[in-house]
Amino acid sequence: MASMSIYLRVFGQTDIGRVRKVNEDAFVVADLTGGNLLPEQQPARFEVRERGVLLAVSDGMGGANAGEVASAVVIESLRRSLVGQQQPAPKDALFERAVQQASRDVWQAAHQPGREKMGATLTAIFVHGSIAYIAEVGDSRAYLLRGGQITQVTHDQSHVQLLLDAGVLKQEEADKSPFRNVILQAMGQKPDVSVALGKLELRQRDCFILCSDGLSNKMDAEELKRTILTSPNLPQACTRLVALANERGGDDNITVIVAGVGGELPPCRADEPVADTFEILKEFEPPKPG
């Protein structure tokens, strides 16, 4: 592991949109070994060293600035927990514990006056060695662009997704549903969350896209892919995506991280489906009625 040289080229951008008065989204890209963070509006290269690299997007909710607090608490708590990892436990277990701790931190902060019922989504990728662990709570998203194909590697934890999975709704109906932003759980809403967790074996030239629903509600995966593949660099890809979401109404905050993977990794092969390199470690368990 120590001899492998793997790195990420990353750019991230967040935008208030055209309607909201406050940006309740937050994101972080952190080198968990050296402590470096992605500078605002600047591309950077992160070496994947001993403690790994964290990419995370969080979309806050709660109104009266509470959503802004919740998303900030989520990403700072998650980063702090992973930087402080001491135990020799499996990385997926460390990652899940860090997500649970972040949710508890929001839960505790939500007991302050004016912050009741605040919460946030979380989509996070923890890159350690040649593996990416992917955690999901809520309906922000992560996509993988590999070999010219795009795959959504998270599964929305939303009311509409539940109906889609059950075959009650068709995709075109889901896209127009007034309930499409109703999520089934959020960080900080209860003491514990059901973390969906996946494990991906990285390949050369993999590219991750993490985004809040202010972006994913405005374009489908194929359009995301086309925009990134036709952009000359990561900053322009992000800027174009944010501009498109704003042109289509900008009725929510918009956040996107694009991260290209490089280094000593197996090449992408046309005869190797993404599914062969991806393992679901833990599925989201929807809350039971009542």
Each residue's pLDDT tens digit, 22-65: 999 999 999 999 999 998 789 999 999 999 999 999 999 876 56
Residue 100 counted as domain residue? yes
Q: Is 219 left (phi over 0), alpha (psi -120 to 50) or beta?
A: beta
Residue 290 counted as domain residue? no
Residue 287 counted as domain residue? no
Query: So what's the pLDDT on residue 1?
Result: 39
As to burial, measured by CB atoms within 10 angstroms (0-12 exposed, 13-18 middle, 19+ buried), residue 181 is middle
Tell me: pLDDT of 229 over 90: yes
Angle, CA of 141, 8 and 156, to the nearest 5°: 10
Query: How many folded domains does the chain comprise?
Result: 1
Tell me: pLDDT of 70 over 90: yes
Share above pLDDT 90 across residues of the chain, in percent, rounded to a whole number: 80
Q: Residue 138: which CATH number?
A: 3.60.40.10
Binning pLDDT at 50, 70 and 90, where does residue 132 land? very high
Listing DSSP states for 241-257 in one string gives HHHHHHHTT--S-EEEE
Q: Quick one: which of 237, 187, 189 has its CA closest to 210? A: 237
Residue 67 counted as domain residue? yes
Average pLDDT over residues 173-199: 90
CA distance 173 to 184: 19
Each residue's pLDDT tens digit, 98-128: 999 999 999 999 888 878 889 999 999 999 9
Residue 288 counted as domain residue? no
Which residue range forms the structural domain that includes residue 273? 6-282
User: What is the average pLDDT score of the chain?
Assistant: 93
Residue 78 counted as domain residue? yes
Tokens matching residue 66: 């509470």
CA distance 185 to 190: 9
Alpha helices in 159-229 (DSSP H): 159-165, 171-176, 213-216, 221-229
| Other beta carbons within 10 Å of 264 | 11
Q: Quick one: which of 88, 94, 90, 87 has its CA closest to 135? A: 94
Residue 1 counted as domain residue? no
Binning pLDDT at 50, 70 and 90, where does residue 288 land? confident
Residue 289 counted as domain residue? no
pTM of the model: 0.95
